[in-house]
A and B are shown apart, each in its own frame.
Chain A
Amino acid sequence: MHQTHRDAEDIQDDDLLLRRITPASHTALQPDGTRILTGFAFRERNDECSMYVAKEVTHEKVLSCGFPTQEIVEVRAGDVRKLGYMIVREPDNCDNSHVFAKAKAYKSRGQIAKDCKALAELVNAHNARVAREGAQ
């Protein structure tokens, strides 16, 4: 049966979404000792990226639903939408704040890889900015 998905209007573009990552698999060590996030961090088996709404849940709660080695990365809801995705609410066993990113129109494997990379690069740029500010 065809299921209709709806973008959650109560989630603002500036709201942060939390995504569990597995650092050993999703981050790559650079020659300068820093770690960068790869696009693989946002890939999912069904091409619908699971996240949690940060203002409604704690990092600890989200981590408690994963594995001990996992960490959290944050992306802005507006950045996910700009790439052509709806943010669909779907409470799961972990928390009611669970959402997933659903493409508004069909996207090929290459397009999805490109979108995941764009999100990873936003996280990398943010982390680099925070590291620079911390060093000053």
Chain B
Amino acid sequence: MAQALHLPNFIELKRLRQDQESNRRQWSGVKSLQSPAWLKEIYDRISALKLLEENWDSYGGLPVAETAIKAVRVLLSNLDIEDLPTPHVAPLPDGGIGLHWRVGARDLEIEVEPNGKVHYLQTNVGEESIPGDVHSLPEAQNALDWVLGK
């Protein structure tokens, strides 16, 4: 027997539209679930930086600060990074963390200070680098988009 289609009446349609609008509002600020495959591996690498002891670089480098680790996690979990290749993660001698991408001739170094402040260095290989400070997530997103030529 054929199943009857349920056609919503106008009141139901109105409620449906309200629900959809409410859903849009509720979910619009949430990051896509399509995280890049490398994200888990990078989180693990960042966590492993905690194990570094003072003088890890043989030049007196400081252990990586917990605040820097948290800041990098916040950064990566709030930005659109799906199209980016796996970054290179590096401890910095002042207790910060560096992230590096190179896509073609575009090279980006992101530096997170031990206090969580973020800076970037954009380099077109063969040309002079351009340093900058990141004060907000959109600024960080712009820096990442630049490396992809967006």
Please tell me if A110 contacts chain B, counting CB pairs below 8 Å.
yes
Contacting residues, chain A, for B60 (C-beta < 8 A)? 44-46
Q: Give the secondary structure class of A's interface.
A: mixed
CB contact list, B10-39 vs A, under 8 A: none
Q: Give min CB distance, A3 to chain B, whole Å.
A: 18
Q: Which of the segments B1-9, B72-80, B92-100, B135-143 contacts the partner chain?
A: B92-100
Interface size class of A (residues with CB under 8 A): 20 to 34
Q: Would A114 and B131 count as touching, CB distance under 8 A?
A: yes
Cα(A20)–Cα(B58), bound, Å: 8
Contacting residues, chain B, for A25 (C-beta < 8 A)? 57, 90-91
Given known A22-B56, A25-B90, A114-B129, contact A45–B109 (CB-CB < 8 A): no
Cα(A105)–Cα(B60), bound, Å: 24
Q: Which of the segments A8-16, A30-38, A53-61, A74-82 contacts the partner chain?
A: A30-38
- Contact string against B for A residues 59-78, beta-carbon threshold 8 Å, 1 for contact and 0 otherwise: 00000011100100000000
Cα(A31)–Cα(B85), bound, Å: 9
Closest residue of chain A to B57 (Cβ to Cβ) is: A22
Cα(A70)–Cα(B56), bound, Å: 11
Q: Would B131 and A113 count as touching, CB distance under 8 A?
A: yes
Interface size class of B (residues with CB under 8 A): 20 to 34
Cα(A46)–Cα(B59), bound, Å: 10
Q: Would B58 and A45 count as touching, CB distance under 8 A?
A: no
Please tell me if B62 contacts chain A, counting CB pairs below 8 Å.
yes
Q: Give min CB distance, B138 to chain A, whole Å.
A: 20
Closest residue of chain A to B125 (Cβ to Cβ) is: A121
Q: Give min CB distance, A97 to chain B, whole Å.
A: 16
Q: Would A114 and B121 count as touching, CB distance under 8 A?
A: yes
Given known A20-B58, A28-B100, A36-B102, contact A117–B109 (CB-CB < 8 A): yes
Q: Would B121 and A39 count as touching, CB distance under 8 A?
A: yes
Contacting residues, chain B, for A113 (C-beta < 8 A)? 109, 111, 119, 121, 129, 131
Q: Please list the residues of chain B having a beta carbon within 8 angstroms of any beta carbon in chain A.
A: 56-62, 85, 88, 90-94, 98, 100, 102, 107, 109, 111, 119, 121, 123, 125-126, 128-129, 131-133
